[in-house]
Amino acid sequence: MAVKQILIVEDERPIREMIAFGLRRSGFEVREVEDVSAARASIADHRPDLVLVDWMLPDMSGLELTRALKRDKDTQEVPVIMLTARAEEQDKVMGLEGGADDYVTKPFSPRELLARINAVLRRTAQAGAEDVIDADGLVLDAASHRVMAGGGTVQLGPTEYRLLSFFMTHPERVYSRAQLLDRVWGGNVYVEERTVDVHIRRLRKALEVFGYDRFIQTVRGSGYRFSTRVA
């Protein structure tokens, strides 16, 4: 899994540095800014996987930043955790209504914050898995377990569906047969590696009708890759 990037928006330097230190040590990549305008610039430059935003900031409130992020189509999927010294229930409600995914009250322990971050990332990753993925017109709808192309439904067996779903959620990367068995079939099932080829063939055949079989690419000596680019 790729390293997750977290943007910390906090003007109190000791707190910001303490959080950043803990998160870096836990394997996150961290960016630090001290106000809303710097946060906006940072997000425009590089979309983080999660934003930690303090409520009280020098130029605008963290709540306003949260609202703005959740209003903008480009950033509304980015999870936001609000940090605040204000423990009142009313503030918590306002923060969550403003679109924050969670809310942590100061003082908090680095461990507590880390647990909240991981919980929010897990939750949003699952929500993302329900999304519709569109790869140049080949559309995977995870909620209904359907794959559409050119206005029609691609007829897939359950294994081919799982295989395609895995590929479309992990595009542009090569997976060996052993990795595919592990990720698609599950590591505890004994299946010969040849089986992968059989299902790849079936998947390509189903996609061929719509001209999308070219997305399932053989990488000689390595395995398979899903890519919308020409192999």
Return the residue of 5, 11, 108, 228 that touches Ca ion, per CB under 5 A. Answer: 11
List, in order, residues 6 or more apart from 141 with CB less than 8 Å away: 132, 147, 148
Find the shortest distance in angstroms from Cβ 64 to Ca ion: 13
Q: Name the residue nearer to Ca ion (CB basis): 23 or 154.
A: 23
Binding mask 38-67 for Ca ion (x = CB under 5 A): ----------------x-x-----------
Cα angle, residue 199 at apex, residues 194 and 203 outer, rounded to 5°: 150
d(CA 44, CA 37): 11
Interface with Ca ion in residues 102-131 (CB under 5 A): none
List, in order, residues 6 or more apart from 96 with CB less than 8 Å away: 103
Find the shortest distance in angstroms from Cβ 91 to Ca ion: 14
Stretch that binds Ca ion, among 11-19, 99-107, 116-124, 157-165 (CB under 5 A): 11-19
Indicate the DSSP class of residue 4: P
Q: Name the residue nearer to Ca ion (CB basis): 106 or 205.
A: 106
Tokens of 127: 């929500």
Interface with Ca ion in residues 141-160 (CB under 5 A): none
Find the shortest distance in angstroms from Cβ 61 to Ca ion: 10
d(CA 186, CA 162): 11
Tokens of 134: 């569109």
